[in-house]
Structure 1
Protein backbone atom coordinates (compact mmCIF):
# COMPACT_ATOMS: atom_id res chain seq x y z
CA UNK A 1 0.00 0.00 0.00
CA UNK A 2 1.35 3.45 -0.89
CA UNK A 3 0.72 6.62 1.06
CA UNK A 4 -0.42 9.84 -0.53
CA UNK A 5 1.79 12.91 -0.22
CA UNK A 6 -1.33 14.75 0.98
CA UNK A 7 -1.81 12.40 3.94
CA UNK A 8 -1.58 14.33 7.21
CA UNK A 9 1.47 13.73 9.38
CA UNK A 10 2.20 15.00 12.89
CA UNK A 11 5.63 14.79 14.47
CA UNK A 12 7.30 16.02 17.64
CA UNK A 13 10.98 16.80 17.14
CA UNK A 14 14.01 17.81 19.16
CA UNK A 15 16.66 19.88 17.41
CA UNK A 16 20.12 19.95 18.97
CA UNK A 17 23.29 21.95 18.44
CA UNK A 18 23.74 25.71 18.39
CA UNK A 19 20.04 26.40 18.06
CA UNK A 20 19.25 28.95 20.77
CA UNK A 21 20.09 32.61 20.37
CA UNK A 22 20.37 32.27 16.59
CA UNK A 23 16.80 33.19 15.52
CA UNK A 24 15.82 29.48 15.34
CA UNK A 25 12.31 29.83 16.82
CA UNK A 26 11.39 32.81 14.64
CA UNK A 27 12.87 31.08 11.58
CA UNK A 28 10.88 27.94 12.42
CA UNK A 29 7.69 29.97 12.82
CA UNK A 30 8.20 31.74 9.48
CA UNK A 31 9.12 28.52 7.66
CA UNK A 32 6.30 26.44 9.15
CA UNK A 33 3.75 29.14 8.33
CA UNK A 34 5.02 29.39 4.75
CA UNK A 35 4.53 25.62 4.41
CA UNK A 36 1.01 25.82 5.90
CA UNK A 37 1.86 23.71 8.94
CA UNK A 38 0.14 23.64 12.31
CA UNK A 39 2.05 23.20 15.56
CA UNK A 40 4.44 25.01 17.85
CA UNK A 41 8.10 25.62 18.63
CA UNK A 42 9.90 26.42 21.89
CA UNK A 43 13.34 26.49 23.45
CA UNK A 44 14.03 23.71 25.94
CA UNK A 45 15.98 24.28 29.14
CA UNK A 46 18.68 21.83 27.96
CA UNK A 47 19.64 24.11 25.04
CA UNK A 48 17.70 22.25 22.36
CA UNK A 49 14.62 23.39 20.45
CA UNK A 50 11.41 21.35 20.53
CA UNK A 51 8.67 21.56 17.94
CA UNK A 52 5.50 19.92 16.71
CA UNK A 53 4.78 19.99 12.99
CA UNK A 54 1.45 18.85 11.57
CA UNK A 55 0.20 19.02 8.01
CA UNK A 56 0.47 17.30 4.65
CA UNK A 57 3.17 14.60 4.75
CA UNK A 58 5.26 16.28 2.02
CA UNK A 59 5.23 19.64 3.85
CA UNK A 60 6.22 18.06 7.19
CA UNK A 61 9.02 16.12 5.48
CA UNK A 62 10.21 19.36 3.85
CA UNK A 63 10.18 21.13 7.24
CA UNK A 64 12.23 18.34 8.82
CA UNK A 65 14.83 18.62 6.05
CA UNK A 66 15.00 22.39 6.54
CA UNK A 67 15.40 21.96 10.31
CA UNK A 68 18.52 19.87 9.69
CA UNK A 69 20.18 23.10 8.49
CA UNK A 70 18.17 25.82 10.25
CA UNK A 71 18.76 29.57 9.93
CA UNK A 72 22.17 30.91 8.82
CA UNK A 73 23.76 31.21 12.31
CA UNK A 74 22.56 27.81 13.57
CA UNK A 75 24.75 24.72 13.75
CA UNK A 76 22.37 21.77 13.92
CA UNK A 77 23.90 18.50 15.12
CA UNK A 78 20.74 16.37 15.37
CA UNK A 79 17.04 16.39 14.50
CA UNK A 80 15.29 13.61 16.38
CA UNK A 81 11.65 12.63 15.86
CA UNK A 82 10.43 11.74 19.34
CA UNK A 83 6.74 11.11 18.73
CA UNK A 84 4.17 10.84 15.96
CA UNK A 85 0.39 11.08 16.01
CA UNK A 86 -2.36 13.39 17.11
CA UNK A 87 -2.94 16.86 15.80
CA UNK A 88 -2.25 20.25 17.40
CA UNK A 89 -4.74 23.13 17.25
CA UNK A 90 -4.84 25.04 13.96
CA UNK A 91 -2.09 27.58 13.32
CA UNK A 92 1.54 27.76 14.37
CA UNK A 93 2.77 29.27 17.65
CA UNK A 94 6.00 30.14 19.43
CA UNK A 95 5.71 28.91 23.02
CA UNK A 96 7.60 29.96 26.13
CA UNK A 97 10.76 28.06 27.05
CA UNK A 98 10.20 24.67 28.68
CA UNK A 99 11.97 25.11 32.02
CA UNK A 100 10.82 21.84 33.65
CA UNK A 101 13.11 19.28 31.99
Structure 2
Protein backbone atom coordinates (compact mmCIF):
# COMPACT_ATOMS: atom_id res chain seq x y z
CA UNK A 1 0.00 0.00 0.00
CA UNK A 2 1.37 3.40 -0.99
CA UNK A 3 1.62 6.04 1.69
CA UNK A 4 1.88 9.79 1.38
CA UNK A 5 3.13 12.43 3.81
CA UNK A 6 2.13 16.09 3.83
CA UNK A 7 3.57 19.00 5.82
CA UNK A 8 0.98 21.67 6.64
CA UNK A 9 0.75 25.11 8.22
CA UNK A 10 -2.56 26.67 9.27
CA UNK A 11 -3.01 30.46 9.33
CA UNK A 12 -5.80 32.26 11.20
CA UNK A 13 -7.28 32.08 14.69
CA UNK A 14 -5.81 28.69 15.53
CA UNK A 15 -4.09 29.03 18.93
CA UNK A 16 -5.56 29.72 22.35
CA UNK A 17 -5.01 33.33 23.40
CA UNK A 18 -2.67 34.25 20.55
CA UNK A 19 -4.95 36.33 18.38
CA UNK A 20 -5.05 40.09 18.36
CA UNK A 21 -7.93 41.04 18.66
CA UNK A 22 -9.96 39.15 19.79
CA UNK A 23 -8.39 36.60 22.10
CA UNK A 24 -10.32 33.38 21.66
CA UNK A 25 -9.91 30.85 24.48
CA UNK A 26 -10.37 27.15 23.90
CA UNK A 27 -9.54 26.84 20.21
CA UNK A 28 -8.08 23.33 20.84
CA UNK A 29 -6.77 22.99 17.29
CA UNK A 30 -4.04 20.50 18.16
CA UNK A 31 -6.39 18.23 20.13
CA UNK A 32 -8.95 18.42 17.32
CA UNK A 33 -6.33 17.43 14.75
CA UNK A 34 -4.99 14.55 16.86
CA UNK A 35 -8.51 13.21 17.50
CA UNK A 36 -9.38 13.19 13.80
CA UNK A 37 -6.01 11.70 12.83
CA UNK A 38 -6.51 8.87 15.31
CA UNK A 39 -10.03 8.24 13.98
CA UNK A 40 -8.66 8.01 10.42
CA UNK A 41 -5.65 5.89 11.39
CA UNK A 42 -3.03 8.30 10.08
CA UNK A 43 0.27 9.15 11.77
CA UNK A 44 2.27 12.33 12.22
CA UNK A 45 2.34 15.28 14.56
CA UNK A 46 0.92 18.75 15.20
CA UNK A 47 2.26 21.70 17.20
CA UNK A 48 1.80 25.41 17.78
CA UNK A 49 4.43 27.44 16.00
CA UNK A 50 6.01 30.54 17.58
CA UNK A 51 4.41 32.79 14.95
CA UNK A 52 0.85 31.96 16.12
CA UNK A 53 0.10 29.33 13.51
CA UNK A 54 -0.37 25.58 13.83
CA UNK A 55 1.87 23.26 11.84
CA UNK A 56 2.38 19.56 11.44
CA UNK A 57 2.82 16.52 9.26
CA UNK A 58 0.30 13.84 8.28
CA UNK A 59 1.16 10.41 6.88
CA UNK A 60 -1.11 7.64 5.67
CA UNK A 61 -3.16 6.40 2.77
CA UNK A 62 -3.64 9.30 0.33
CA UNK A 63 -7.44 9.43 0.65
CA UNK A 64 -7.25 9.50 4.48
CA UNK A 65 -4.56 12.20 4.45
CA UNK A 66 -6.75 14.32 2.16
CA UNK A 67 -9.77 13.72 4.42
CA UNK A 68 -7.82 14.99 7.45
CA UNK A 69 -6.50 17.99 5.51
CA UNK A 70 -10.11 18.96 4.71
CA UNK A 71 -10.91 18.81 8.42
CA UNK A 72 -7.81 20.87 9.26
CA UNK A 73 -8.81 23.44 6.62
CA UNK A 74 -12.12 23.89 8.42
CA UNK A 75 -10.76 23.55 11.97
CA UNK A 76 -12.61 23.08 15.25
CA UNK A 77 -15.58 25.20 16.26
CA UNK A 78 -13.69 28.18 17.75
CA UNK A 79 -11.01 28.33 15.06
CA UNK A 80 -11.05 30.56 12.01
CA UNK A 81 -8.79 29.16 9.29
CA UNK A 82 -7.70 31.78 6.79
CA UNK A 83 -5.16 29.75 4.83
CA UNK A 84 -3.83 26.18 4.74
CA UNK A 85 -0.36 25.70 3.26
CA UNK A 86 0.61 22.14 2.37
CA UNK A 87 3.43 20.34 0.63
CA UNK A 88 4.30 16.71 -0.05
CA UNK A 89 7.38 15.39 1.76
CA UNK A 90 9.14 12.03 2.16
CA UNK A 91 7.44 9.39 4.31
CA UNK A 92 8.89 8.28 7.65
CA UNK A 93 9.09 4.52 8.03
CA UNK A 94 9.20 4.29 11.85
CA UNK A 95 6.16 6.37 12.78
CA UNK A 96 3.33 4.59 14.61
CA UNK A 97 1.02 7.30 16.02
CA UNK A 98 -0.14 10.89 15.78
CA UNK A 99 1.23 13.12 18.53
CA UNK A 100 0.85 16.63 19.83
CA UNK A 101 4.26 18.26 20.13
CA UNK A 102 4.86 20.99 22.68
TM-score (norm 1): 0.85
Q: What does residue 5 of structure 2 align with?
A: 10
1:89 to 81, 95, 100: 95
Q: Which runs of 5+ in 2 are unaligned?
A: 17-26
Indicate the residue corresponding to 2:23 in structure 1.
Answer: none
* Equivalent-residue separation in structure 2 for 1:49 and 1:43 (angstroms): 5
Displacement of 1:84 after TM fit? 1.7
Task: Give the unaligned 5+ runs of structure 1.
Answer: 1-5, 97-101
Calculate the TM-score normalised by the size of structure 2: 0.84
Query: How many correspondences in the alignment?
Result: 91
> Could you list the runs of 4 or more consecutive aligned residues of structure 1 that deviate by over 2 angstroms after TM superposition?
none
Matches within 5 A, 1:1-101: 7-21=2-16, 22-87=27-92, 89-96=95-102
CA distance in 1, matches of 2:2, 2:12: 31
Q: CA deviation at 1:70?
A: 0.5
For 2:80 and 2:97, the matched residues in 1 are separated by: 27
CA displacement at 1:83 relative to structure 2 = 4.3
Q: Is the 8 A contact 2:30 2:100 kept in 1?
A: yes
Q: State the distance in 2 between where 1:29 and 1:47 align.
A: 18
